[in-house]
């Protein structure tokens, strides 16, 4: 069945209010493990139907944020979501408090019980109204960004299309692109500041109602983190500052000379790597054709996967006004169907997003029937699947870029390495903001600029309207919509580079280990998955030094080879 044909039906909160307490009562009254597992099956059936329809409503809203029906449906799930989560917590409590817990752990494993413990720390009925308010303000931001126009050379366009010009080989075009970006954002400066300020204070209020010092701790619980905490992230951050930032700065400034850039290296220079312009793929249809060939070449399983995705038309990749401006993969559990949204703009980023989101979708396809159903993987695990797939696509880049495949691989690796300091800024910024919720908009912007100077010292924003004030973060949608979901990308990027380096020595062995990791989904914690895949954890002091050196040598060898 095509994704566009998947039936949608609102799951009413009244049904959850009636059925979920009944299931909980059966679990609490059960005399045997078998009785609990039978009740659990009914719970799964109800939850799969709820999450599938909520995901359909969200997807159909994001592809057209002015579709009145799905705007209303998405708002409905935003409104009832917190109450549904509270009802779900009663199920978690019943499982945790069961006198048969030890036997249940033998059947289901201990990890899901640890996740339930974290789930109980992530919300309480006392903050349901605040969560509903938070969802409404997030949607306000989402609609604002989706409907925002940017004027470039007499034409109005969404940000996703505008940023295609940031990859132009012409430096003046890139500068104008960023000036248009800054001016367009500046027209909404008060709204952007106000929305974020409200979100910060709502989240701070929720944390304090639950007895936390600030939102940082609650934010970690909401991300379901079991494998690492704030102290580990602080060590990771220092590893990046010490061992990654100097190498990236050196490589970027050396590359600037090849690009003929004199004077300051500007923010609009950071989007281009190859002299004469970065390689560009073909049309949407050509990208899909190349992707189909690639995944068939990778193996039988990946071939069946891409055929399923194409047959279901499980993509929406065209950029247009009133479409959500990011990219994502989501799943419709009831139909065992992944879906990918992207915003193609004619740059190599179209291929990046295709391989990245396909890594997520492949993992979802592998894991639809994994047990226990309740297990959710950490986002660092999920992003390891996607970012690693980007690198495993390297041998097939001639299908997308022809004789420019070598240029693409160099550009892709340098961009990915450059991302690590940027992603660290995004996460560090949020720690500072939520530890100091009463900062003014000006103080927040100054904070961003201070972090830029520390982690991306090669870049200048001087003279770029609005952006130079320290506002780059205002179109990093995760900061508004998914707090603390970003260090996951950075952690995953280091794992992906480990896979890349391994693939340079023995591609087939590295890819086999990657597929094995993906199939495990969230059945183990990220460090355990890395260890089983033969990869090193980046969370120990000094853990990135060796990898940074190897990536530097790889990039230098690729650059010298032309």
Q: What is the pLDDT of residues 336-377, one digit of tens each?
A: 999 999 999 999 999 999 999 999 999 999 999 887 878 888
* Residue-number span of the structural domain to which 350 is assigned: 284-415+490-542
Cα–Cα dist 109/107, whole Å:
6
Confidence of residue 23 (pLDDT cuts 50, 70, 90): very high
**Which is it for strands 315-318 and 337-344: parallel, antiparallel or unpaired?**
parallel
Tell me what the pLDDT averaged over the chain comes to. 96
- Which of 120, 152, 176 marks a domain boundary? 120
- Which of 79, 104, 120 marks a domain boundary? 120
Assess whether pLDDT exceeds 60 at residue 293: yes
For residue range 167-225, list pLDDT tens digits in order.
999 999 999 999 999 999 999 999 999 999 999 999 999 999 999 999 999 999 999 99
- Which of 60, 92, 120 marks a domain boundary? 120
In-domain check, residue 73: yes
In-domain check, residue 98: yes
Of the chain, the percentage scoring pLDDT greater than 90 comes to 95
Cα–Cα dist 288/282, whole Å:
10
Q: How many CB atoms lie within 10 A of CB 506?
A: 11
In-domain check, residue 211: no
In-domain check, residue 325: yes
Assess whether pLDDT exceeds 70 at residue 561: no
Are the CB atoms for 224 and 118 separated by under 8 Å?
Answer: yes
Assess whether pLDDT exceeds 60 at residue 562: no
Confidence of residue 530 (pLDDT cuts 50, 70, 90): very high
255-268 average pLDDT score: 94
In-domain check, residue 274: no
Confidence of residue 87 (pLDDT cuts 50, 70, 90): very high
For residue range 419-477, list pLDDT tens digits in order.
999 999 999 999 999 999 999 999 999 999 999 999 999 999 999 999 999 999 999 99
pLDDT at position 375 is: 82
293-309 average pLDDT score: 98
Cα–Cα dist 211/18, whole Å:
30
In-domain check, residue 156: no
In-domain check, residue 351: yes
Number of domains in the chain: 2
| C-alpha dist (Å) from residue 426 to 191, 254, 430, 477 | 20, 25, 7, 11
In-domain check, residue 532: yes
* Alpha helices for 343-435 (secondary structure H): 349-367, 379-392, 398-401, 405-435
Residue 61 burial (C-beta neighbours within 10 Å; 0-12, 13-18, 19+): buried
């Amino acid at each position: 069945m095509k994704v566009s044909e998947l039936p949608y039906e609102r799951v009413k909160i009244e049904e959850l209010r009636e059925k979920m307490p009944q299931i909980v009562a059966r679990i609490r009254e059960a005399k045997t493990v078998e009785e609990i597992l039978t009740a659990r099956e009914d719970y799964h059936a109800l939850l799969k139907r709820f999450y599938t329809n909520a995901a359909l409503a969200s997807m159909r809203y994001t592809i057209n944020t002015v579709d009145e029906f799905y705007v209303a449906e998405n708002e409905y799930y935003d409104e009832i979501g917190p109450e549904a989560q509270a009802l779900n917590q009663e199920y978690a409590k019943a499982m945790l408090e069961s006198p048969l817990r030890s036997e249940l752990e033998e059947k289901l494993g201990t990890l899901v019980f640890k996740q339930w413990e974290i789930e109980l720390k992530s919300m309480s009925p006392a903050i349901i109204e605040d969560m509903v308010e938070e969802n409404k303000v997030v949607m306000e931001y989402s609609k604002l960004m989706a409907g925002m126009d940017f004027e470039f050379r007499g034409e109005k366009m969404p940000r996703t299309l505008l940023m295609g010009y940031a990859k132009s080989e012409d430096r003046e075009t890139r500068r104008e692109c960023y000036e248009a970006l800054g001016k367009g954002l500046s027209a909404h400066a008060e709204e952007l500041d106000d929305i974020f300020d409200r979100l910060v204070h709502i989240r701070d209020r929720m944390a304090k109602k639950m007895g936390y010092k600030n939102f940082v701790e609650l934010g970690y619980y909401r991300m379901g983190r079991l494998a690492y905490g704030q102290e580990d992230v602080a060590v990771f951050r220092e590893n990046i500052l010490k061992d990654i930032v100097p190498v990236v700065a050196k490589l970027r400034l050396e590359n600037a000379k090849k690009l003929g850039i004199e004077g300051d290296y500007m923010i609009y220079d950071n989007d281009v790597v190859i002299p004469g312009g970065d390689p560009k793929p073909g049309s949407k249809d050509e990208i899909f054709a190349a992707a189909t060939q690639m995944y068939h070449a990778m193996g039988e399983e990946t071939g069946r996967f891409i055929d399923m995705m194409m047959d279901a038309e499980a993509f929406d990749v065209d950029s247009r006004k009133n479409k959500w401006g990011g990219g994502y993969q989501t799943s419709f559990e009831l139909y065992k169907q992944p879906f990918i949204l992207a915003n193609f703009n004619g740059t190599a980023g179209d291929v990046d997003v295709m391989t990245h989101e396909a890594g997520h979708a492949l993992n979802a396809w592998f894991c639809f029937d994994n047990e226990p159903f309740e297990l959710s993987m950490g986002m660092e695990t999920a992003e390891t699947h996607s970012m690693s797939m980007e690198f495993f696509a390297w041998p097939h880049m001639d299908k997308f870029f022809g004789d420019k495949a070598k240029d693409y691989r160099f550009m892709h690796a340098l961009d990915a390495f450059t991302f690590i300091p940027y992603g660290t800024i995004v996460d560090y910024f949020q720690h500072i903001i939520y530890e100091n919720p009463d900062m003014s908009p000006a103080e927040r912007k100054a904070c961003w600029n201070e972090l830029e100077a520390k982690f991306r010292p090669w870049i200048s924003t001087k003279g770029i309207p609005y952006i130079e004030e320290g506002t780059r973060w205002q179109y990093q949608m995760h900061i508004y919509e998914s707090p603390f979901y970003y260090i996951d990308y950075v952690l995953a990027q280091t794992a992906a580079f480990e896979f890349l380096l391994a693939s340079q020595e023995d591609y087939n062995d590295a890819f086999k280990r990657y597929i094995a990791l993906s199939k495990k989904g969230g059945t183990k914690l990220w460090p355990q998955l890395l260890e089983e895949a033969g990869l090193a954890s980046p969370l120990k002091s000094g853990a990135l030094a060796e990898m940074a050196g190897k990536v530097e040598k790889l990039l230098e060898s690729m650059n010298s080879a032309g």
